[in-house]
C-alpha cells in the first residue's frame, strides 16, 4: 500500500502523530506483524469510543423519553 495513503488514513481515523509515525516506520521496514498488532489495538480503541457514545445516546434517549412522558401526564391534569 502507498505509505502516504496509509498515513492519511491513520490520521483521518484519529491516530495521533506518534502512532502514525511508528506505523509508517514499520511499513517502510515491512514489519507487518507488529504493524497489524498496532492497527488492531487502534481499531479496538475506536470501537470502545463508539460503544461509549452508544451508551451516552441511550442515556439521553431515556431522559428525553421520561421527560416527554412527564410532560404528557401534566397536560392531562
Which residues have CB under 8 Å from 35's CB, separation 6+?
23, 26, 27
Domain boundaries in the chain?
3-76
Which residues have CB under 8 Å from 6's CB, separation 6+?
23, 24, 27
How many other β-carbons are positioned within 10 Å of the β-carbon of residue 1? 7
pLDDT digits (tens, 9 = 90+) for 1-59: 788 999 999 999 999 999 999 999 999 999 999 999 999 999 999 999 999 999 999 99
Q: At what angle do helices 32-76 and 17-28 cross, to 10 degrees?
A: 150
pTM above 0.85, yes or no: no
Amino acid at each position: 500500500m502507498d505509505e502516504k495513503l496509509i498515513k492519511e488514513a491513520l490520521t483521518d481515523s484519529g491516530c495521533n502523530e506518534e502512532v502514525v509515525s511508528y506505523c509508517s516506520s514499520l511499513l517502510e521496514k515491512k514489519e507487518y506483524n507488529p504493524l497489524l498488532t498496532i492497527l488492531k489495538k487502534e481499531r479496538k480503541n475506536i470501537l470502545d469510543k463508539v460503544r461509549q457514545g452508544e451508551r451516552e445516546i441511550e442515556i439521553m434517549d431515556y431522559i428525553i423519553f421520561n421527560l416527554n412522558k412527564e410532560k404528557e401526564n401534566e397536560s392531562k391534569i
